[in-house]
Amino acid sequence: MNLTDILTKETIEINADLKNKKQLIAEIAVMACKHPAMKGIAPSEVEKLLLEREELASTGLGSGVAVPHCRIKGIDSFAVGIVTTRKGIDFDSIDNVKVNIFPFVIGPEDNPKEHLKVLSGMARLLRNPETRSTVRKATSSQELYNFLESILQDSTSSAEAKQLGPAMRMLHVFIRDEDLFNDVLQVFASGDLTGAMVLEAHESTEYMSNMPVFAGLWNNDLNTFNRIIMAVVKESLLNQTLRNIEYVCGDFRKQTDIMVTVTDLHHTLGSLDF
């Protein structure tokens, strides 16, 4: 499912005059019920579920963005949209920054896997500082809709390309920065990738620094955050996956805490369905 298929002009509101989390959630509930997928659902029901989700943990991602979301009975598809506010709202975000960009996702209760993809796709879209800046500067719902649609079409055009054969690639992403890891992981959560897994790793110098013969060769500032994301990717989706990773982490040529390798797979047996 592509976000372009479920984003509507009716579920976009800019510069809403809202003062707190409760008002914001109530407004999102009303907006969500304008979506065709929400036929027969009352805003009060959506508001209740959104508030219950926020009680579990804040959906504030940081950088002025939060993604309120919930799952609900009685719908077969997803309702997504976005609300921006005139002033930032305290949303208990991980960086304690007030929020004024609120993409939202309302999904069927019985489709958690697709819900994760849609949710991660919305969150990944707004990881880019330039995208956030443009969203905040939008002067009308139509303008914001056109902008988001253009980005979403660009990001999904390669994924919609016809599969020319069964060729697969093994992707390894080596990461030494926790913030980068969280951003890149969203790419894998929202993409059509087979069995993405995470390995925790340690640099060899971490072990060698404890050996008497190498004592004193390294200081105590060793990098202790090391993760490897492994995934099998269809050849037709490889370039788009790499572009999505670079979109959230920045120019690969300027990075020193992330490296991506791609390996041909000549034989694959079985599958992993999460």
Q: So what's the architecture of 3-156 in CATH?
A: 3-Layer(aba) Sandwich (3.40)
Residue 160 confidence class, pLDDT cut points 50, 70, 90: very low
For 82-118, the pLDDT digits (tens) are 999 999 999 988 889 999 999 999 999 988 888 888 8
- Does 211 have pLDDT greater than 90? no
- pLDDT of amino acid 195: 66
| DSSP label of 157 | T
Burial readout 34-65 (b: 16 or more C-beta within 10 A, e: otherwise) = bbebbeebebebbbebbbebbeeebbbbebbb
Residue ranges of domains in the chain: 3-156, 168-265
- Does 213 have pLDDT greater than 90? no
β partners of residue 84: 101
Percent of the chain with pLDDT over 70: 84
The tokens describing 111, both together, are: 């489709």
Q: What is the dihedral of CA 108, 114, 118, 124, to 10 degrees?
A: 150
Of 133 and 247, the one with more pLDDT: 133
User: In the predicted model, what is the mean pLDDT of residues 167-190?
Assistant: 86
User: In the predicted model, what is the mean pLDDT of residues 199-206?
Assistant: 80
- Does 167 have pLDDT greater than 70? yes
Q: Is 143 exposed, middle or buried (0-12, 13-18, 19+ CB in 10 A)?
A: middle
Query: Lowest mean pLDDT: which of 68-82, 108-122, 125-139, 192-206?
Result: 192-206
User: In the predicted model, what is the mean pLDDT of residues 122-147?
Assistant: 91
Q: So what's the architecture of 168-265 in CATH?
A: 2-Layer Sandwich (3.30)
Query: Lowest mean pLDDT: which of 91-105, 121-135, 154-168, 194-208?
Result: 154-168
Residue 164 confidence class, pLDDT cut points 50, 70, 90: very low
User: In the predicted model, what is the mean pLDDT of residues 184-213?
Assistant: 74
- Does 35 have pLDDT greater than 50? yes
Burial readout 264-273 (b: 16 or more C-beta within 10 A, e: otherwise) = eeeeeeeeee
Query: Lowest mean pLDDT: which of 23-27, 219-223, 224-228?
Result: 219-223
User: In the predicted model, what is the mean pLDDT of residues 65-86?
Assistant: 93
